[in-house]
């Protein structure tokens, strides 16, 4: 999977090889995604220097609600984390996803090992729960 980044360049899952990746799939048009986004921004800051875990985002659909663009949303919220774009939901469909937000946990070898569909709200696992699950995948991948 290779997707263009909001601020230019390209993001690929392969660039995270060696670390366990939390792949965050979301959209501004989705109320559940908006409920999670502050936690996601904190998680990006927290994992920025991690040797074991990483987080990458993918915005699906070219629907931006009242903001009109992803850039306007990021400017208003003062977010500064990378996000790849999937305007026609190709990656979303190819991966067989059915819900946003989705958190796909990929082991250091690039194999999908776990999945969650929200941090907040009913059934949400919370940021701590997501990090715990990603750390568990990482430990298993190392044989610990």
What would the 3-class secondary structure string for 94-129 be? HCCCCCCCEEEEECCCCCEEEEECCCCCCCCCHHHH
* The token pair that represents 7 in the structure block: 């601020």
Task: Report the pLDDT value the prediction gives residue 124, as an integer from 0 to 100.
Answer: 87
Q: Are 56 and 89 in contact (CB under 8 A)?
A: no
**Bridge partners for 24 per DSSP:** 57, 103
Per-residue pLDDT of the chain (144 residues; tens, 9 = 90+): 666 656 666 666 777 778 999 999 999 999 999 999 999 999 999 999 899 999 999 999 888 989 999 999 999 999 988 898 888 899 899 989 989 999 999 999 989 999 999 898 778 899 999 999 999 999 998 776
Q: Classify burial at 5, counting beta carbons within 10 Å of its beta carbon; exposed 0-12, middle 13-18, buried 19 or more.
A: middle
Name the nearest CA neighbour of 46 among 107, 134, 136, 109.
134
Q: How many CB atoms lie within 10 A of CB 77?
A: 12
The pLDDT, as a whole number, for residue 18 is: 87
pLDDT at 8: 66
Q: Alpha helix locations (H) across the chain?
A: 31-47, 70-77, 90-94, 126-141
Q: Give pLDDT, residue 10.
A: 67
pLDDT given for residue 135 in this prediction: 95
**Residue 133 near residue 52 (C-beta atoms within 8 A):** no
DSSP 16-34: GTTSEEEEEEE-TT-HHHH
Please tell me the pTM assigned to this model: 0.88
- Residue 131 confidence (pLDDT): 95
Q: What residue spans define the domains of the chain?
A: 2-141
Q: In the structure encoding, which two tokens stand for residue 63, read together?
A: 């629907």
CATH class of 2-141: alpha beta
Torsion of CA 117, 120, 123, 128, to 10 degrees: 80
């Amino acid at each position: 999977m290779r997707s263009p980044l909001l601020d230019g360049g390209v993001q690929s899952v392969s660039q995270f090889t060696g670390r366990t990746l939390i792949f965050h799939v979301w959209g501004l048009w989705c109320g559940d995604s908006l409920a999670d986004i502050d936690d996601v921004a904190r998680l990006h800051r927290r994992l920025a220097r991690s040797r074991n875990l990483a987080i990458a985002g993918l915005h699906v659909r070219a629907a931006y609600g009242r903001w009109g663009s992803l850039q306007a949303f990021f400017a208003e919220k003062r977010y500064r984390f990378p996000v790849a774009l999937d305007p026609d939901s190709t990656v979303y469909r190819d991966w067989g996803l059915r819900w946003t937000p989705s958190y796909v946990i990929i082991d250091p070898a690039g194999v999908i090992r776990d999945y969650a569909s929200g941090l907040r709200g009913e059934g949400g696992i919370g940021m701590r729960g997501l990090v715990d699950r990603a750390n568990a995948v990482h430990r298993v991948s190392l044989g610990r």
